[in-house]
């Protein structure tokens, strides 16, 4: 499960993985950021806030995660991992 907040003023997505990542997590993230990217061209950054990586709930979730990253990679100026 992923919790997230989207600072549209600064074009930054803050992502907080809370438990094993699921396919729907990335569907929801895409529904949040894709319209913004289509309208504005890009995101200033995605900040992933987690002390450890919780893993994936399924192989499908891992594949959806990789597709999300590949699909958004060029539209995101900075990817940051905050382990604090």
DSSP class per residue in 23-45? HHHHHHHHHHHHHHHHHHS-BSE
CB atoms within 10 A of CB 46: 23
User: What is each CA distance from 76 to 20, 33, 54, 63, 69, in whole angstroms?
Assistant: 24, 10, 23, 19, 10
What value does the mean pLDDT take over residues 55-77? 94
> For residue 84, is pLDDT > 80?
no
The residue length of the chain stands at 84
Listed by start position, the domains of the chain span 2-82
Q: What is the average pLDDT score of the chain?
A: 94
């Amino acid at each position: 499960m992923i919790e997230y907040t989207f600072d549209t003023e600064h074009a930054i997505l803050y992502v907080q993985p809370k438990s094993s990542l699921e396919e729907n997590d990335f569907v929801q993230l895409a529904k949040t950021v894709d319209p913004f990217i289509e309208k504005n061209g890009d995101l200033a950054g995605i900040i992933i806030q987690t002390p450890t990586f919780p893993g994936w709930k399924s192989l499908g979730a891992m594949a959806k995660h990789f597709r999300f990253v590949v699909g958004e990679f060029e539209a995101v100026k900075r990817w940051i991992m905050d382990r604090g």
